[in-house]
Amino acid sequence: MKMAGAMTIIASCATGASAELVLPSVIGDHMVLQRGRAVPVWGWARPNSEVSVVLVGAQGEVRGAGHGAAAPDGRFVVRLPAMEASSSPSTLRVSAGVDRAERVDVLVGEVWLCGGQSNMEWPVSASLEGESLAGTLPATVRCFTVPHELAAHAVPLVGGAWEVASPSSTGSFTAVGSFFARSIGTELGVPVGLLSINWGGSPAEAWVPEDAAAQGPFASAVATQRARGAAFEARSPAQKQRDYDLAIEQYHAAVESYWKALKANEAGFVGGWLNEPCDAAHGWASGSLPAVLGSTPATQPLAGFDGASWWRRSVSLPASWAGKAARVVLGPIDDSDALFVNGVEVGRTTQLHQAPRVYRVPEGVLRAGENEIALVIIDTGGAGGLSIDSRKMIMRLDDDHGVNAADRAPCALAGEWQWKRGSDLGGRFGPLPPSGEAHPQAQWASFGSMWNGMMAPMAPYGIRGAIWYQGESNADRPKEYEMLLPMLIRSWRDRWQSGEFPFGIVQLAAFQSASDDPVEGVWSRLRQAQFDTAQRVAHCGLVVTTDVGDASDIHPRNKRAVGERLAAWALATVYERPREWSGPLFQGATVEGASMVIAFTHAKGLAARGGGTLGGFAIAGDDGAFHWADARIDGERVIVSHPSVKAPRAVRYAWSCNPVRANLVNAAGLPASPFATD
């Protein structure tokens, strides 16, 4: 997006602002400003104009004020002085010459950035205890979610708006961030703002600024990326359009082939489920939509299932609707879907889980009385389902001319449906449409592509720190991650220009079927990279989650434990509220005879979870062959041995994707991090 275009869009939406004064969307109504430090307020105004920023309390008192001037290009940054926390709504007033802008319901408290991939993006509504959290999270918690956007170069503005926590809004908030906010907000007694900047499946390199990556071990890859970007930008608009038109043709052909194969092989299509009786005798069960599939008791069989599920229901329509064209509004569906009305396919979408579904029912399909609606949902990874507000899931007429007023109301589609599980289709992704701006530097895994489109325009905003849940998409490249994660942290701190702000890292949870191999799974090495980063980079914390994973789902639903452990780290280390926040962390190893003695930090009260035998340790001698070891606790140490290993050389703990044997905890009940002495 070009800067001028973005500024025009934001300006047109700004409350009480002229087109000459533009504030970024994050400087918006309901925002939370960071307490205790100077807060930057930035935007664009008439070149060289004098800019004033004032925060005014409910009684008209000035809580903070700052002054500055716009640069020749119009950009300005004015800093408000450090302020105390306040739950009393204030008003931010910005003036630049004759231009004015105002933002209302502004609080002052703690602001945290919530970054990563799908496990940080995962919503409250699809989490364990999510309904309870949504109903109780106070209105002093606010969340700003940045829309997904890739960009070849840093953009100045993004969309989005601050949302106030309420029973109707909190369901869409980041679950980890919301549990984190509840914990720190309750203990500190202050408002909490969350900047939710994440993207499911995203690799770490997309969040690292390109110029930061160009200075280190990825310099060659960045140089190649830049060269391709320059070549792309040098092409003529006509050539770009021809290439795009060809890509669109190829995409449509691929979509047709994808659905043709589905209809020829998927159980529901082959078995004619559209036309069979929709009852228990034919395998149909009751469930409600909209919902994340598998998140409700009625749809539990779909938890962790990647494939087709069929949904049917009947709606009664008035006679005045018969034969008329209509629209069916379903909202975003993860991942693909096809909709049928009275047996007629009226629309389908392929592999676009964020695209809102609005399908047109052509004339001649609807009839008076009962009408059959069938929805086929194709989930190809993670959780599938519908994420629309139930009140907006409707069928409405295209044109209600000549229809009685009593019949004009939309037909509600939310509620009870009948569903049936179809074929397993995990990993059979449909084709993705080509981007109109298929820039080599704006691709999914390009260095800086998500930083440019989502993070860079937010970087000046005042924050206390960041929490980060990502790594699954880099799990097959742990050696790279050893360099990427520290680079990401340092580059973010550099861009924010607010010192070495705290950075909380969530270590990958348990996943995949358990193995009896004592040292298997690339996820172990990725966890080690996360551990090493937390040890070597200042002001980082590591939260261990190997005990709250799900073997069959890469998205464990227990986000409360993750958020509360992150909060315990922040409260102890950032806010100096003493408590144990970490499980045992490997400190060192020494050989004593035929045993290896492991020392830990955070080791007060070492124990085996639930009592019994300590497990999860493996030991090897000179031959490098690991054996499940005998392990016993000795104060704040663990002594590891095996009868066949007379001269131990290495010990590994919880060294698998799903370390079910691992049960070492401390007095706080927090799990030990996986480690390897070699």
Mention every residue, 6+ apart, whose C-beta is less than 8 A from residue 355: 332, 349
Compute how many other C-beta atoms are within 10 angstroms of the C-beta atom of residue 332. Answer: 17
634-678: per-residue pLDDT in tens?
999 999 999 999 999 999 999 999 999 999 999 999 999 999 999
Beta strands in 470-621 (DSSP E): 503-506, 540-543, 585-592, 595-601, 607-608, 617-620
Confidence (pLDDT) at 361:
96
Q: How many CB atoms lie within 10 A of CB 424?
A: 13
Residues of the chain scoring pLDDT < 50: 1-18
Residues 526/672/507/353 CA torsion (nearest 10 deg): 110
What's the pLDDT score for residue 294? 82
Q: Cα–Cα distance between 472 and 430 in angstroms, integer? A: 21
CA-based radius of gyration for the chain: 28
Beta-strand pair 285-289/415-424 = antiparallel
pLDDT reported for residue 130: 92
Domains of the chain, CATH where assigned: 3-198 (2.60.40.2550), 275-424 (2.60.120.260), 585-676 (no CATH)
- Cα 517 to the center of its chain, rounded Å: 32
Strand partners, 638: 598, 633
pLDDT score for 550: 84
Q: What is the pTM of this model?
A: 0.80
Pair of tokens at residue 474: 């880099």
| CA within 13 Å, CB half, 546 | 33
What pLDDT shows up at residue 432? Answer: 81
Tell how many helices (H) and how many strands (E) occur in the chain: 12, 34
For the chain, give the number of residues. Answer: 678
Q: For residues 164 and 134, what is the distance between their CA atoms, to the nearest angstrom? A: 11
Report the alpha-carbon distance of residue 171 to residue 416 in Å, rounded: 20
- DSSP characters for 499-525? -S--EEEEPPPP-S---S-TT--HHHH
At 446, the amino acid letter reads: S
Distance of CA 419 to the CA centre of its chain: 28
Q: φ, ψ for residue 419 (rounded to 5)?
A: -135, 160
What is the predicted pLDDT for the residue at 307?
Answer: 92
Q: What is the pLDDT of residue 435?
A: 66
What pLDDT does 427 receive? 67
Is residue 332 a contact partner of residue 357, using CB atoms and an 8 Å limit?
A: yes
What pLDDT sits at residue 17? 43
Q: How far is CA 309 from the centre of its chain?
A: 24
